[in-house]
């Protein structure tokens, strides 16, 4: 989440990541909560995998070189093999979205569950609301949402489609407010 990104108009670091203390505290709380949820699943016999994104980017269909849109999560290379093996065994039949919004930072955890195989994949990340309004609008208009897990070099590992965007954006107007501000 650090540095400039031309897809976001070269915004400066503070605007891109928000207040560093707020983000750090939010990420620490998100990870603590996620670890508690993982412990609960494991206590109930589930095998789990946690992917904590080093960067989470909201993308709309007109950004970038492809029409891919949704939340893009960049993960470290040491999780690649585990993710691909885990995903090959899973037939996810349930998705739960946990999130907290604080100072326009969205701390999000997506839990993908295969109830038959008792597999639970947790994907965590953080992004700024002001960069997501077009993605949210697209998601609500199309009635779907997407997430993409990639390596640092941009190589795609897995992508998921969700039929209920309101799980991700229960109050889309909170995001749309940034459209009128020219953000």
pLDDT higher than 60, residue 124: yes
pLDDT of amino acid 180:
60
The pTM (predicted TM-score) of the whole model is 0.86
**175 closest CA partner among 108, 113, 122:** 108
At residue 130's C-alpha, the angle toward residues 104 and 100, to 5°, is 30
Per-residue pLDDT tens digits for 70-95: 999 999 888 999 999 999 999 999 99
Task: Summarize pLDDT for 31-71 with one digit per residue, the tens.
Answer: 999 999 999 999 999 999 999 999 999 999 888 777 899 99
């Amino acid at each position: 989440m650090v540095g400039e990104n031309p897809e976001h108009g070269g915004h400066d670091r503070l605007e891109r990541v928000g207040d560093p203390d707020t983000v750090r505290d939010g990420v620490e709380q998100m990870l603590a909560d996620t670890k508690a949820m993982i412990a609960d699943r494991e206590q109930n016999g589930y095998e789990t995998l946690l992917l904590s994104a080093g960067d989470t980017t909201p993308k709309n269909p007109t950004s970038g070189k492809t029409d891919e849109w949704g939340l893009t999560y960049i993960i470290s290379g040491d999780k690649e093999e585990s993710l691909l093996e885990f995903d090959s065994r899973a037939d996810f039949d349930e998705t739960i979205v946990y999130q907290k919004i604080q100072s326009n930072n969205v701390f999000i955890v997506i839990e993908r569950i295969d109830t038959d195989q008792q597999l639970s994949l947790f994907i965590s990340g953080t992004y700024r609301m002001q960069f997501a309004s077009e993605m949210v609008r697209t998601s609500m208009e199309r009635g779907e949402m997407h997430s993409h897990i990639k390596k640092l070099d941009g190589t795609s590992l897995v992508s998921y489609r969700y039929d209920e965007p309101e799980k991700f954006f229960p109050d889309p107007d909170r995001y749309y407010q940034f459209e009128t501000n020219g953000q």
